[in-house]
Each structure stands twice: as structure tokens, then as C-alpha cells.
Chains A and B, each alone.
Chain A
Amino acid sequence: MSTTRSLELTPRWSTAFEDYLTVARFGPDGSRLAAGSLSGEAALLDAETGHRSALAPHEMGVLDLSWSGDGHLAVGGQDNTVRLYAAGSLQPVTLELDRWVTSVAWSPSAPQVAVAYGRSLGVARVDGSSALSFDDHPSTVEAVGWSIDGTRVGAACYGGLHWYQPAEPEATGRVFAWKGSMLSLDVAPGGRWVASGCQDASVHVWRLWSGEDLQMAGYPTKITELAWDPTGRYLAVANPDEITLWDFAGKGPQGTTPLTLAGHEGSIHCLAYCPRTGLLASGGADGLVAVWQPPKRSGPVAAFDHDAEVVSLQWHPDGGALVTGCADGTVRVLDATAH
């Protein structure tokens, strides 16, 4: 790569878990991060030092975790449980469910968490109270997400996205339909769109809330990784070793040619935009973490090589660091310093 680097990624610390690092996420103030592994380990790690405080394990593996804006933490596992840690507490409330917890997401506006388990979507408050469930989806719910005002929560499964209003559980839900297995759900910042990746190698985007839909098809393999930029204008799609960037400004991306970001030599497993700087980071099977500055630059502006597949990735809230998780269980924090 001959691009002049304007950003440098250097390791701050690393620590190892005993198996595949499912997910690592900074808390809202950036002082700590939470990480979970398929080994079943879950822990809080100090962002500066990497010092570890163990959280309750989940037998057979941690499958997802999520922080709320207030610092509450939800951790879901293959042991059919989700543990809810109120901000500042290491003592969780445990909800025992009947299927693997595949996805957890906090409401942006209330201390309420959505939990996907089997063919159900559950909603509960951080103390475990006011629990509801929306059951009998056509297939296992693969992802959950909230509208930006927190009034609606959506479940991605076979057949489309199913939306509910937890404050009015009896109200009829809305379905954004697509006859395919939907694997992800990402609401754009600003709340105009929701995007979902599909097993049939397409991406579907619906306008919130008219339900008008667009699709991008013709990708070579299934789509699981999507990310909206912080302005809600661009949608980045990883497939499989390139990122395509669709511009939703004005009339939207119909008829446009997306920007392609190339540089990985293997499937991209994770994508993350920095809310503060708008830089895009990607991590993949080639062990590379790359940072991009689309649409200005089509090549990476920084890169760091790991010695294992990078499977989880997120920017520090202040934009000055990245946390990465690898298939071999390693968690790293990389400082991202501009020249």
C-alpha cells in the first residue's frame, strides 16, 4: 500500500481468553470494555491497563453483549440466560430463557433491553421486571434493534423484520417482509432507514416508517456485516473481502454505483464506524484491521496485523483507540494516533 498513512495503530495492551472472542465493546464513558468468549468467560477490562474483573460465566459460550447509554450491561449466552448488570454493579439479574440468546440490544431511551432467544423476542427492564415476549417468529431471531426514539423494537428472522411497541404489547406488529433469511438489523443514525443483510446474498433497506423498500443484490455470498456512518448517509456492506459503500443522500442509492474499498485478502468479519470521526474500521480473516476514510480515500489510511482472524471490532467513544477481538481469544486495544 503506497497511501501515506495519516493515522497510526499501535498496541496498548492485549489479554487472552480461552476461545473465540465473540464480542468486545467499550462502555459509554470509554473507561472499561466488556468482552465475552465462546469459552464461556465474560469480563470487564480496564481500557487503560487491560486489568480484568470477571463477570459470571455462560456455559458453552457468550454469544452477544451490549451496553446502554447509561452504562447498564447485558450479556447473553449459549446457556439460555441473559445477565443484566445495572450501571456500576457486578451483581447481575439473571433471566433464564429456553433457547440460546443470540442478540441483545438496549433501548436508546429507557433502561430496557431487547433479547433474541430462539424464535422469540423478549424485552425487560434492567432489574428484570416488566418482562414481555413476542413469540412464534417464523424462524430463530438472528438480530434485534430499536428505533431511535426507543418506541419500537425489531426482530430479524426468516421472512423479514418484525416490529413491536413494548409500551403497547397488544398492538399489531408491523412486518417489513422479504422472503429470505434476514441475518442482521441496523437502524441508521437519524432514523430514516433500517438495513438488513440476507442469506441469499442481498441487502434490504426499508424507509422508516413508510416501509418503502430497496434491495441491493448480486453479491457473491451471504451478507452479515453492515454499518451505517454516523450521519446516516452511507451504508457500508462487507462482502466478502471488499466493502461497498452506498450513498443514501438525496434520492437514495438506486441507479448509483457504490464506492468499493479494497485491501483485505479474505472475508471481512466486522465493520465499525467511529461516531466521533466518521472513520471506518474493518477486521477480517486475514488478521488485518484496516481504517478507511471514505469517500475521500479508497485505500486504507491505517492498518494493523493480528496473527489470528479478527472477529470483533469497535472504536473507543473518543475515537482515539480501537478494541479488537480475535478467533484465538485475544482482546487488544490499539491506540489510533493521528500524525
Chain B
Amino acid sequence: MVNYVLREQHGKRIAVIENEFGEIGIDDALVLDAEEEIFEMNNGCICCTVRGDLIRILGNLLRRRDRFDHILIETTGLADPAPVAQTFFVDDELAARVRLDAIVTLVDAKHVVAHLDEVKPDGVENEAVEQVAFADRLVLTKTDLVDDDTVRSVVERLRSINAVADITTATKGVVDLDAVLDVGAFDLERAIDLDPAFLTDTDHQHDETVTSVGIEVTGELDGPKLNEWLGHLLSTKGVDIFRSKGILAIAGEDVRHVFQGVHMLFDSEPGQPWAPEEQRTSRMVFIGRNLDRHELTTSLQACLA
């Protein structure tokens, strides 16, 4: 049953890889069915899960003469987004040929709070919380079925989990393709916009174990110390850290370093140059479980050059 229609933009070549309960429809898109096949991969101290079926299906798509502008991968309602994202870090052939653009989560404005509030047995993840935490963009749907106050409180609740995702809305089951495509969330060349406003701790109404922590330090960081700390942090606490992002000032570098992580996997690249008089600051965001703001801040400060 198609619940959401992505309004077609003229001229884009789009492939949709969907699960058997596909809910997304796009006119004129190539649609392929996938059975989510998730397996673990261990590589030294890095352990992650990947979608084996995507490696095969995307490999097949990418061999073809017809180039696609976009490939949309729709996961099942209860899916953990991590294996999909991690697949792009872990398979070298895919990493060389296709760029992960963004993780977009559709949020049902009428029902999401109930899902977020659901108490799960010990050790069982609340998938709704996970999907919100993971998103680069949250698209609120069914906003026409609730009042404005509800929309506002839903947004506030989403923000308490994920302080960095863009939030947009869709009405009557129609989502603008522009809201979903070419978001550039993993594009390390686009400056990640980390608004200092949320970098201060705020009181949360709800006892969220999944939160966003934004930290900032002034001054340049020592590259090797930073790498050692980040590597250690992500390999020991990576299971609890869903996403990490940062724009960093490294001693001896004239350019910013932009960094993105999914659990234990991370990637960094040179970014925009620092202007001569510009104050060098580093900002990082972590979205995850049981994050200790104080510990993260002092650890980052300990990396100052």
C-alpha cells in the first residue's frame, strides 16, 4: 500500500529500493524489491552491521549504462537505520561509486509521541527513538490531522532527541522530492551548520536516554591526540553513539576538518579554509544514548594543542 507519494520532479532518474511493505510511490521511478539481509562485520576493533542485499542490488544498478540521479532506499517501519548507512562506509566498491546523501525519517505527527513514549523491555531498543536520532532530516506527516499545539510539542520532543536534523512538513501524504533528495548531510564539503544556540544544555521535560550533545572548544586541536581520543571513544562507546558530526580546527592546518560518524565508523575530510583573522573553534555533535556532556567536553578540551 502506498502511503506517501513523492511528488515527481521532471527529468530526474530515480531508483527506489523497497522492502515488501513498500510505502513510498514515485511516478516513473525504477522500483526494486529487497529483502533486508543484515549481517555483522568485524574488522579489528570495529564491529558493525551491514545490508548484504544492498551491496548486491546497488552493485548491479551501478554497473548499468543508465545513470541514476538518485537512489532511494526505503527501510521497514521498525528498521535500525545503522546497517544501511554503514554499508556505504564498509564496501569499498560502493564507497567509490555512490555517495550517501542523507537519512530521512518520516514522522507521523499524530502517533509519534506514543511510539517515543513506548516502554520497551530491558535491552530492547525503541526503534522510533533510534530513527529520530539517526535522521539528517525529519519530515512531519499527517500535520493536517493534528492541531498546531500538537505540532509544536512534537517538534520540541523531536529536538530533544535530535538537535541537528532539519524538520520539514508534508501534508495529505504528499512529500516534496526536494525535501528528500540532495540533502547533502554526508557531504563533507558542505559546511555542517552547527548552530551554537543548541550547544548549551537545556532542560528536558522527558527523561530521554537518547539525546544530542553539542560541544565547542576555542583554539586549535592537536591532530594525533584528537584521532586517538575519537578512535577510542567510537570503538568503546560507538554502540551508544548513533551519529557524530563535527567541524574541527586542527593545529598546523589552514582548513577546517569536517567529520561524520555512524556508530563506530567515521570519515573525515578537509573543509573550508579558515580566514586569516578568524577565531579557530571546534564544534562537535553527538547523538546517542547516555551521553555525558561533561566528559565529552573535558575530553575534547584535553585535545587542545
For B35, what are the chain A residues with a Cβ–Cβ distance below 8 Å? 118-119, 140
Chain B CB count within 10 A is highest, among A38, A102, A201, for: A38
Contact of A221 with B by CB under 8 A: yes
8 CB < 8 A contacts A-B: A19-B65, A20-B64, A38-B64, A139-B53, A181-B39, A222-B91, A222-B93, A328-B65
Q: Is A293 part of the contact surface with B, judged by Cβ < 8 Å?
A: no
Which residues of chain B in 25-47 are interfacial with respect to chain A, using CB atoms and an 8 Å cutoff? 35, 37, 39-43
| B60 near A158: Cβ-Cβ < 8 Å | no
B63 close to A (CB within 8 Å): yes
Residues of B within 8 A of A221 (CB): 92-93
Give 4 closest A-B pairs by Cβ, nearest first.
Answer: A221-B92, A20-B63, A139-B37, A19-B65
Give chain A's interface residue range (CB within 8 Å of chain B).
20 to 34
* A19 and B64 form a contact (CB under 8 A): yes
A200/B42 in contact, CB under 8 A: yes
In the bound complex, what is the Cα–Cα distance between A73 and B282 (angstroms)?
63
Q: Return the chain A residue nearest B37 by Cβ.
A: A139
Cβ of B56 under 8 Å from chain A: yes
CA distance A158 to B66 in the complex (A): 30
Q: How far is the CA of A142 from the CA of B65 in the complex (A)?
A: 23
Residues of A within 8 A of B37 (CB): 139-140, 158
Chain B residues near A140 (CB, 8 Å)?
35, 37, 52-53, 56
Q: Given the complex, which residues of A lie within 8 Å of B167, measured CB to CB?
A: none
| CB of B199 closer than 8 Å to a CB of A | no
> How far, in angstroms, from A61 to B30 measured CA to CA in the complex?
14
On chain B, the residues within 8 Å of A165 by CB distance are none
Distance in Å from the Cβ of A102 to the closest Cβ of chain B?
A: 8
Segment 183-201 of A: residues with Cβ below 8 Å from B = 199-201
CB-defined contacts of A20 to chain B, threshold 8 Å: 63-65
- Cβ-closest chain A residue relative to B39: A158
Complex contacts, A201 vs chain B, CB 8 Å:
43
Q: Are B52 and A199 in contact, with the CB atoms below 8 A?
A: yes
Within 8 A of B (CB), among A168-185: 179-181
Cα A20 to Cα B64 in complex, Å, equals 6
| Cα-based distance from A20 to B60 in the complex (angstroms) | 10
Q: Is the CB of B41 within 8 A of A200?
A: yes
Does B55 lie at the interface of the complex (its beta carbon under 8 Å from any beta carbon of A)? yes
Across the interface, A139 reaches (CB within 8 A) one of B52, B65, B92, B93, namely B52
**How far, in angstroms, from A200 to B47 measured CA to CA in the complex?**
11
Min distance, Cβ B118 to any Cβ of chain A, angstroms: 30
Chain A residues with Cβ below 8 Å from B40 are 179
A140-B53, A220-B92 given; 17 more Cβ-contact pairs under 8 Å: A19-B64, A19-B66, A20-B63, A20-B64, A78-B60, A139-B52, A139-B53, A140-B35, A140-B37, A140-B56, A158-B39, A158-B52, A181-B39, A200-B42, A221-B92, A222-B93, A240-B92
Contact B92 A222 (CB under 8 A): yes
Roughly how many angstroms separate A292 CA and B91 CA in the complex, as a whole number? 29
In the complex, A118→B42 CA distance in Å? Answer: 25
Q: How far is the CB of A119 from chain B (nearest CB, A)?
A: 8
- The reply on A161 being an interface residue by CB < 8 A is no
Q: Contacts of A311 on B, CB cut-off 8 Å?
A: 63
Closest to A267 in B: B93
Question: Smallest Cβ distance from B66 to chain A, in angstroms?
Answer: 8
Binary interface encoding of chain A residues 87-111 relative to chain B, with 1 for a CB under 8 A from any of its CBs, else 0: 0000000000000001000000000
Contact A327 B63 (CB under 8 A): yes
If A20-B63, A38-B64 touch, does A181 touch B43 (CB 8 Å cutoff)?
no
Contacts of A102 in B (CB 8 A): 56
CA–CA, A222 and B91, complex, Å: 8
Partner of A199, one of B41, B60, B66: B41
Give the complex CA separation of A201 and B91 in angstroms.
10
**Is A329 engaged at the interface, CB distance under 8 Å to the other chain?**
yes
Task: Give chain B nearest CB distance to A202 CB in angstroms.
Answer: 11
Whose C-beta in chain B lies nearest to the C-beta of A139? B37
Which residues of chain B from 1 to 40 have a CB within 8 Å of any chain A CB?
35, 37, 39-40
Q: Given contacts A20-B65, A38-B64, A221-B92, are A180 and B53 in contact (CB under 8 A)?
A: no
A22 to chain B, nearest CB (A): 8
Q: Which of B43-80 contact A (CB under 8 A)?
A: 43, 50, 52-53, 55-56, 60, 63-66
Are A200 and B64 interface neighbours, CB within 8 A? no
A38 near B60: Cβ-Cβ < 8 Å: yes
**B52 and A38 form a contact (CB under 8 A):** no
Give the distance in Å from the alpha carbon of A329 to the alpha carbon of B52 in the complex: 27
